[in-house]
Amino acid sequence: MQVRIGIFICDCGKSLSNIDFPKVKERVEKFQEVVYVDLSSSLCLEESREKIVSIIRERDINRVVIAGCAPELKENVFGKVIEEAGLNCNFLSMANIREQCSWAHESDVTNKALELVRMAASKARFLQPVEKKDMPVNKQVLVVGGGFSGMKSALELSGLGLRTTLVEEEAVLGGKLGEFEGFYGIETTPEEMLSSMRKAVEENGDIEVFTSAEIARVEGQAGDFTIRIRRGEDKLSRSCGAIIFATGYMTEILPQDFQLKPDVNIISRRKLVEMLQAPGELERRPGTIGFVLDVSDENSRLPILSTLNNALAVKERLGSEVYVFCKSLKVDSEGVEKLYREARERGVVFLKFEEKPRISKKDGRVKVEARDVLLGEEVTLLCDFLVAEEKVLPPEGTEALSSMLNIGTDSAGFYQDENVHLYPVASERKGIFFVGGCKGDLDFTRISTDISSATMSIYKLLSPEKVMVEVEKVKVEPEKCRACLTCVRVCPHGAIQMVRVDTEKEVAKIYDLACDGCGICAAICPAKAIRFEGYADEQILAEVEAIGESL
Amino acid sequence: MNREDNKIVAFCCEHSAYQVANKAGKMRLHYPDNVRIIRVPCAGRVDVQHILKAFEKGAAGVLVMGCQEGACQHLTGNTRAKERVKYAEDLLKEVGIDGGRVKMVNLAPDMAQRFIREVKEMTEKIEGR
């Protein structure tokens, strides 16, 4: 098909005064394959759009160049306009002569504008159509982990009308919620919370529960995953459109960082909770209880939240004196500052150290020596019990799971929660979400918000039953592919898999829905077998070459 | 030096640097007009051949501009671009083009001043000032 380029130049209401538009028009008309050049003052107005459509039809134009404002403002609008004229929306190339030319320079920039139009026109020659298609998606969702986060996710999804399969490693649902004493200010105890959630999950017809089961394999892409589940000897298979991982966390009860040995006096948070739940069983009321925080990890919010809750509970039920040794107390989670104030008002003493406290035994009690930086003095405390912070760690199997999914973890081994571009719950792979303790952040309110955010994203993705995708925008040319697996390895979104084309050959295939369009694969492919329409090699090179041509 | 011989080709990631350039324009922050911006979906799309082609066609400098490290929309795009820029730099050195003529720049979408500084610095380097 012969290329017939139509160029529409907009002078933005004659405001781009440092470009000589008649001159640009005159020069542009001489470019190769350009059949029509239009100079307008307001291309974005309704009547101009109608004009563009009629000109494209009249002149039989099959590539459109728009020279005007930044593409991010109006690219979609002009894409629709040329679609109206019967062209594929990819046959559009834009020259940014406003933000990156006229506005950015003081002097006369007619030549630069001309060159930008030439670059866009050169690129336009190589544009290929990209079809759009509705792709069906599976509306079933898999939730891995039957703790608080997992159950809440499943319940919320069922509220949105999505059926879920819940897979839990342990024999019963519940996870670690039962280990907490309570949440200050929340009336329901963790146990009540658990039993009501368990009941809701079990009674819900939309939630299929597998306990004592684990995920053996995850195959496929967003909208169409196949999951192999192992339950004892049984092997099951389920398909789903999206997955939520709520695999939780584990704790190291007496972290090595303390160099402490478990003792009758040095106890874990869990032991303290047991004591608090049955205060009658204690031989005598402990006079002084100390807490040590922040020795191993400064960032985790769980120890701070649980320490404050426990300190208050100790005050209320045992009436002991409470001392909290901490380096820094992060009160950024919702309600924690209030909790801290409350604790102080009730007489909990906070001592701030910078060097690790020295802990030893003396006369059957625990002696803690630390230098309080606020007082500027050495503090020595003898306490009946010292509650050691539990170090929060990623659960077992995190590494295996992340390598199976091809999803990265942060330096501590938790699922990444740092990349601002991926939003709080999404992962680098479309359709896979992480919530709860497996992200390392254990602030209760945030977990709840994360769960709602993840379930809403899934609802958005799956509820229409089909998703509009651009078919083969990024495409592997099978005859060029040497099956070196480089693209499979580098794709940050896990969107490339090998597929068998015949008995002899396997080639890489890019899944349209999972692809996020970065083009890393196209740049790295040693055989240059991957074509990224819109940013194909010949299109980028055409732009580069247009810079070199003399005007 | 002829005005036409000092061109800089800037490959700009549409998630950061391309927006930065637009922002600089909107704020009317003026910078040398020898820079030609090519929009890419991610700095990781830029290949060594694109950089070399620019020099072949007479560009005096190439900037590859992507997101800040650790903030790449595609996680590894900017670090891969950095490796490729280094590779291109070594190749250029071998043929006698000063390595400083190609540079990787990491920008956040609001770093207009930094964008301008990089363009100015490259222009000054090219013009031998």
Is A547 inside any structural domain? no
State the pLDDT at residue A336. 85
Which span out of A113-127, A291-305, A407-421 was modeled with the highest average pLDDT? A113-127
Is A459 inside any structural domain? yes
Q: Which residues contact A35 (CB under 8 A, 6 or more apart)?
A: A4, A5, A6, A59, A60, A61
State the pLDDT at residue A295. 61
Confidence of residue A551 (pLDDT cuts 50, 70, 90): very low
Range of the domain at A109: 5-130
Is A136 inside any structural domain? no
The average pLDDT across A453-461 equals 93
Residues A376 and A450 in one domain: no
Complex ipTM above 0.90? Answer: yes
Q: How many domains does chain A have?
A: 4
- Angle separating helix axes A537-548 and B48-56, nearest 10 degrees: 20
Asked if B52 is an interface residue toward chain A (Cβ–Cβ < 8 A), one would say no
Residue A11 sits in a domain whose CATH number is 3.40.50
Which span out of A54-58, A419-423, B4-8 was modeled with the highest average pLDDT? A54-58
Confidence of residue A422 (pLDDT cuts 50, 70, 90): low
Hey, what's the torsion of the CAs at A150, A155, A161, A166, to 10 degrees? 40
Is A540 inside any structural domain? no
To the nearest whole angstrom, how far is the Cα of A104 from the nearest Cα of chain B? Answer: 4
Is A543 inside any structural domain? no
Report yes or no: A164 and A204 within 8 Å, Cβ to Cβ: no
Report yes or no: A121 and A34 within 8 Å, Cβ to Cβ: yes
How many Cα atoms occupy the beta-carbon half-sphere of A460 within 13 Å?
A: 9
| Domain stops at, among A466, A500, A519 | A466
Residues A301 and A378 in one domain: yes
Q: Which residues contact A420 (CB under 8 A, 6 or more apart)?
A: B71
Asked if B41 is an interface residue toward chain A (Cβ–Cβ < 8 A), one would say yes
Confidence of residue A237 (pLDDT cuts 50, 70, 90): very high
Residues A358 and A387 in one domain: yes
**Best residue in A93, A96, A99 to probe B by mutation, most B CBs within 10 Å?**
A99
The average pLDDT across B106-129 equals 92
Is A96 inside any structural domain? yes
Residues A340 and A368 in one domain: yes
Residue A420 above 60 pLDDT?
Answer: no
Set of chain B residues whose Cβ sits within 8 Å of the Cβ of A70: 22, 25
Closest chain B CA to residue A541: B50
Residues A368 and A400 in one domain: no
Is A375 inside any structural domain? yes
Residues A368 and A309 in one domain: yes
Asked if A411 is an interface residue toward chain B (Cβ–Cβ < 8 A), one would say no
Is A347 inside any structural domain? yes
- Angle separating helix axes B17-26 and B112-126, nearest 10 degrees: 100
Residues A146 and A121 in one domain: no
Residues A283 and A370 in one domain: yes
Residue A257 above 70 pLDDT?
Answer: no
CATH topology of domain B3-126: Rossmann fold (3.40.50)
Closest chain B CA to residue A521: B45
Facing residue for B71 by CB, picked from A99, A421, A492: A421
Do the chains contact at A518 and B73, CB–CB below 8 Å? yes
Asked if B9 is an interface residue toward chain A (Cβ–Cβ < 8 A), one would say yes
Residues A387 and A398 in one domain: no
Do the chains contact at A104 and B9, CB–CB below 8 Å? no
Set of chain B residues whose Cβ sits within 8 Å of the Cβ of A115: 36
Do the chains contact at A541 and B53, CB–CB below 8 Å? yes
